[in-house]
Structure 1
Amino acid sequence: MSSASSVNGDGKETALFEQRLSKIGEVRAALGQLSGKTALYCSDASIARYLVARNWDVKKATKMLKKTLKWRSEYRPDEIRWDEIANEAATGKIYRTDYFDKSGRSILVMRPGVQNTKKAKGQIRYLVYCMENAILNLPPDQSQMVWLIDFAGFSLSNISLHVTKLTADVLQGHYPERLGVAILYNAPKIFESFWKMASPILEPKTFNKVKFVYPDRPETNKIMEDLFNMEELESAFGGKNQVTFNINDYAARMREDDNKMPLLWSPENSTLASEPYVMTKDTAQEGSSDLKSEETTSEKREETDSESENKEETESESERGETEAVSRKREETEAISGKSEETEAASEKREETVTDSEKGKENLSCAVEPGEGKGITPADRNGCSSSDP
């Protein structure tokens, strides 16, 4: 590959390009012999994305990529199919548009205001499906996507910090440099408190890709005009396109894409594996000392998050165990209590029967021996009431 074809620069940029190709080779050597989908995934461009995410630190990038390869082998994101996650998509909370931004990037629209499920596992699996689908539909000269987040109808009950953290983990850990920009469109005031809690979860590079846009602020609307063709952009984001989400039409599109996915990941597909690293003017500026310090912070956060996750999992398992034990104990207690109550009820019934029998005898005594009752008040009659004969 010629460095001159990748970046129009001087000898310094050419040297930097060659140095980065060398680092890509180091990561590849550290990974060892690859085969199947793993080999397809680890193209020069893919390895470069992990190096960029870790500021071209070979050791850190290799560690990060190995985690993704393990995750992909277990989670199998490329094998998720529409019918498996269709219920998550019913309201259009996440969908890929049929148009691209001016740079040719895939666009994922997200509408947290129409969240329709509660389980984090299903929500993340649908997000992964959407990420894989967006990548599948990228043009050959593009590797990133755009997130358009619409806050219409939003309330804090629509999102959780836990799901947000899982989303950040998936995006930053397994899809590095896939997000080009995230537009948070017309976020309400109530979102500010959540953003203060959620923003520290994001790595600096991801945080810097988040843009807040408000329809009543011309300076932020310019962001939309610079990024999108306003004729294609949906009216919900200030564009002129009046299209609305239709689940039936979208399902048909996704099923067509599902048929394309195995072809992309077939061992014979040399296009995926041979995706080259291209150094653009923007990537030529990467590697500054300030980014280095940011990456160190990100790595520390990653280690802290990992420890926290392990702790949460342990605590969660412990809590579930305790809950189950308490539940079993309660059931046993209730069972014993139930038997006890039944026994007590039977005992009380017998006592009532005995008491009624005794009362009958006493009443009979009062009735057949009236003479003994003379001068005796009702209280002194030992069970004979004033109405007794």
Structure 2
Amino acid sequence: MSYLLKSNKSWISQEKAGTPDEQQDKIKEVRELLGSLTTEMPAFLSDGTIRRFLRARNWSTEQATKALKETVKWRRQYRPDKICWEDIPGREHEARRAYIADYLDKNGRMVFISKPPIKSKSSAKDQIKQLVYNLEILAMHSENEQDECAVWLTDFQGWVLTNTPLPLFRESTNILQNHYPGLMAVAILSNPPRIFESFWKIVRHFIEREMKEKVKFVYTNNPESHKIVADMFDLDKLESAFGGRNTVAFDMDKYAERMKQSDQMRGASVHANGYSCST
């Protein structure tokens, strides 16, 4: 399996994006096409969000508007903006499986880490809830970004087929591609075992071409893979599981405090009466 899939279409995307003024004109056009929806969800339908959807849809105002309308319907029902840290079932365990790192990559992008070999103790529904919670935080930090602002690192060391049920993968991919497009700049699959090749041949059909082009397979014992990682990250901060030199144990108390601060910034927090924000 190749450890690196390169995209050669970035120049095409930049060409379609046009000048900053032309981009702003497209954002304005999408706003007009959305009509009253912009007043229904003003916080979500910001210029930053519209820009992300335009970028993910090759700057087609028609396609971006259609995608945004579908996401508005989904957000009405799911209310992702109301999910907070206290809403995540089994959060002390589940956060060790999927969390937002406390450092950025060398391009200033946020880093989302997942470790599927750690067995989840939550239902598929609750795992999706945690994913959406994390994506909301990443999206909040993408508001003023002109490009994709996040890197997804997945540690596959010790992975077996039962770690990633196909229905869960399909739903996760659907949510990421349809409701949080233009967010992930690159997805690094670290040390996938040989059995993963069979799984990849199946699930790659559920992944959009643009997303597949962002996928990189890396192996910590491969010199060229190590160079790719070293070019992207400060190895003193990067976890040793990905070829970095950071061996500090995950601090749940510090992470919980960080997430609570993010909840306050998003306007999602625990009510004074003690009930969580999504109740």
Q: What is the TM-score normalised by the length of structure 2?
A: 0.82
Structure 2 SS opposite 1:183: strand
Q: What amino acid does structure 2 have at the position aligned with 1:95?
A: Y
In structure 1, the residue matched to 2:101 is 97
Seen in structure 2, the aligned counterparts of structure 1 residues 82 and 128 have a Cα distance that, compared at 3 Å, is: same
Query: How many residues are aligned here?
Result: 253
Distance 2:151 2:40 in 1: 26
In structure 2, the residue matched to 1:251 is 256
Larger RCO, structure (CA 8 Å, separation 6 or more): 2
Post-superposition offset of 1:88: 4.6
Q: What amino acid does structure 2 have at the position aligned with 1:29?
A: E
Q: 1:123 aligned to 127, 130, 134, which one? A: 127
Seen in structure 2, the aligned counterparts of structure 1 residues 245 and 61 have a Cα distance that, compared at 3 Å, is: same
Point out the structure with max Rg over C-alpha: 1
Distance 1:218 1:63 in 2: 44
In the alignment, structure 2 segments of 5+ residues that lack a partner are: 1-14, 270-279
Distance 2:138 2:29 in 1: 29
Q: What amino acid does structure 2 have at the position aligned with 1:24?
A: I
Seen in structure 2, the aligned counterparts of structure 1 residues 45 and 256 have a Cα distance that, compared at 3 Å, is: closer
Post-superposition offset of 1:60: 1.7
Sequence identity percentage: 42
Distance 1:37 1:81 in 2: 22
Q: 2:205 aligned to 190, 200, 203, which one? A: 200
Post-superposition offset of 1:260: 2.3
Post-superposition offset of 1:18: 3.9
Distance 1:154 1:31 in 2: 43
Post-superposition offset of 1:64: 0.5
Seen in structure 2, the aligned counterparts of structure 1 residues 204 and 218 have a Cα distance that, compared at 3 Å, is: same
Q: Residue 146 of structure 1 contacts residue 182 of structure 1 at CA under 8 Å; is this kept in 2? A: yes
Post-superposition offset of 1:36: 5.5
Measured against aligned partners, the alpha-carbon deviations of 1:355-374 in whole angstroms (never above 9, x if no partner) come to: xxxxxxxxxxxxxxxxxxxx
Q: What amino acid does structure 1 have at the position aligned with 2:109?
A: R
Seen in structure 2, the aligned counterparts of structure 1 residues 249 and 235 have a Cα distance that, compared at 3 Å, is: same
Distance 1:139 1:241 in 2: 29
Farther off after superposition, 86-95 or 97-106? 86-95
Distance 2:92 2:38 in 1: 34
Post-superposition offset of 1:138: 5.6
Seen in structure 2, the aligned counterparts of structure 1 residues 59 and 135 have a Cα distance that, compared at 3 Å, is: closer
For 1:256-335, list aligned pairs within 5 A.
256-262=261-267
Q: Residue 142 of structure 2 contacts residue 183 of structure 2 at CA under 8 Å; is this kept in 1? A: no
CA RMSD of aligned residues (A): 2.4
In structure 2, the residue matched to 1:291 is none
Distance 2:113 2:68 in 1: 27
Structure 1 SS opposite 2:238: coil
Distance 1:97 1:15 in 2: 33
Distance 1:71 1:250 in 2: 28
Matching of residue 73 in structure 1 with residue 106 in structure 2: no
In structure 1, the residue matched to 2:190 is 185
Seen in structure 2, the aligned counterparts of structure 1 residues 201 and 141 have a Cα distance that, compared at 3 Å, is: closer
Post-superposition offset of 1:249: 3.0
Seen in structure 2, the aligned counterparts of structure 1 residues 195 and 88 have a Cα distance that, compared at 3 Å, is: farther
Structure 2 SS opposite 1:97: strand
In structure 2, the residue matched to 1:32 is 35
Post-superposition offset of 1:187: 0.6
Structure 1 SS opposite 2:174: helix
Distance 2:97 2:23 in 1: 39
For 1:138-157, list aligned pairs within 5 A.
140-141=144-145, 144-157=149-162
Q: Residue 114 of structure 2 contacts residue 154 of structure 2 at CA under 8 Å; is this kept in 1? A: yes
In the alignment, structure 1 segments of 5+ residues that lack a partner are: 1-11, 265-389
Structure 2 SS opposite 1:114: coil
Q: Residue 90 of structure 1 contacts residue 247 of structure 1 at CA under 8 Å; is this kept in 2? A: no
Distance 1:256 1:14 in 2: 34
Seen in structure 2, the aligned counterparts of structure 1 residues 231 and 193 have a Cα distance that, compared at 3 Å, is: same
Q: Residue 93 of structure 1 contacts residue 111 of structure 1 at CA under 8 Å; is this kept in 2? A: yes
Structure 2 SS opposite 1:127: helix
Post-superposition offset of 1:19: 3.7
Structure 2 SS opposite 1:147: strand
